[in-house]
Amino acid sequence: MPLMMLVVLLLYLIAISTLMTPASPALDTFVYGGCSQLKYIPGSPYEANLNSLLTSLVNSAIAGTTYNNFTSDSASPSSSPQDTVYGVFQCRGDLSADQCSRCVSRSISQVGTLCSGACGGAWQLEGCFVKYDNSTFLGVEDKTEVVKKCGPPAGYDSDSLTRRDAVLGFIAAGGGDTPKAYRVGWSGNMEAYGQCVQDMTEGQCGDCLNEAIGRVKSECGAAKWGGVYLGKCYVRYSEGGDQSRSQPAGGRSSSGTGNNDNEIEKTLAILIGIIAAVALVIVFIYKSCEEAKGGGGK
């Protein structure tokens, strides 16, 4: 078989293997984050407690838990109650322990860098949530609206809105057999899911989700997808693959076969372009070598 055909065949096999490799979900996609204005003194007991707390959060996730909370308070004589740090992490309910661990490590790395010197920080990635502060928030309900994203107006569609309200009502009622902190529901091509931070009681969780559901319905109107994140819970819905759990409640369609096909088409186009370019180079080199041989023969 000629050398050029072997090279082209190899490039083709590489392209096929690349397309057959499933894309990993963007669990580390940023959703929101913030840092407290209060700063701690470098080298203080608070900083030592904070570092200990963040290490505990990461180690707990690595150990396979998908939710945990810690209180870090050193026994140093110079330490005071004001040096106590409270922290929590939680992963999305459908993630594996390994996915959770990677997401939490990424989240803590980001919040630790961007909130450096701050006494508190909260960081929500697509797959996980991390929060720490010098005042306790564990077990405290927080319905403050942090971020809201709505899809473009889709026009009034009574059937669509009925399905949306039905699946959101299912989420509010508990989401069937799913854990109380993570709830998922479908109705036709309409999907919704919500989650509470697990330091709250079941009653607090239901109250928080009801608040989020009311806001997403009123603030997103007839949009095909929408999401509202409150301080201790969130709810999101999407119709027909207009929004994916692997992406934030933002303005980019990222679910369903439509988006996957688009990504495959883009990848295929790039690979075809690379193959064509390499093939042209090989042809040019091959012809140059043949001409050199012909010239040398004369």
Mean pLDDT value across residues 153-161: 84
Determine the 3-state secondary structure of 190 from DSSP. Answer: strand
Structure tokens at 192: 């919704």
Greater confidence, 264 or 166? Answer: 166
Please choose, from the candidates 54, 32, 197, 30, the residue with its C-alpha nearest in 3D space to the C-alpha of residue 116: 54
pTM of the model: 0.72
What is the tens place of the pLDDT at every residue in 12-41? 433 433 333 333 348 999 999 999 999 999
Whether the pLDDT of residue 218 is over 50: the answer is yes
What is the tens place of the pLDDT at every residue in 60-89? 999 999 999 999 987 566 667 789 999 999
Say how many C-beta atoms besides its own lie within 10 A of residue 174's C-beta: 16
The per-residue pLDDT for 292 is: 58
H or E element: which one contains 233? strand 233-239
Percent of all residues in the chain with a pLDDT value above 90, rounded to a whole number? 59
Select, from the ranges 1-10, 11-20, 124-133, 289-298, the one with the highest average predicted confidence (pLDDT): 124-133
Whether the pLDDT of residue 228 is over 50: the answer is yes
What is the tens place of the pLDDT at every residue in 91-136? 999 999 999 999 999 999 999 999 999 999 999 999 999 999 999 9
> What are the C-alpha distances in Å from 224 to residues 126, 192, 213?
20, 11, 15
195: CB partners within 8 A, 6+ apart: 90, 92, 93, 181, 182, 183, 233, 234
What is the tens place of the pLDDT at every residue in 229-282? 999 999 999 987 655 443 333 332 222 323 333 343 444 444 445 545 545 545
DSSP structural state of residue 180: T
Please state, rounded to an integer, the average pLDDT across all residues of the chain.
Answer: 79
DSSP line for 71-102: EE----TT--GGG-EEEEEEE-TT--HHHHHH
- Backbone φ/ψ region at 34: left (φ over 0), alpha (ψ -120 to 50), beta: beta
3-state DSSP helix/strand/coil % of the chain, to nearest 5: 45, 20, 35
68: CB partners within 8 A, 6+ apart: 57, 60, 61, 88, 89
Sign of CA dihedral 248, 249, 253, 254: positive
Greater confidence, 77 or 174? Answer: 174
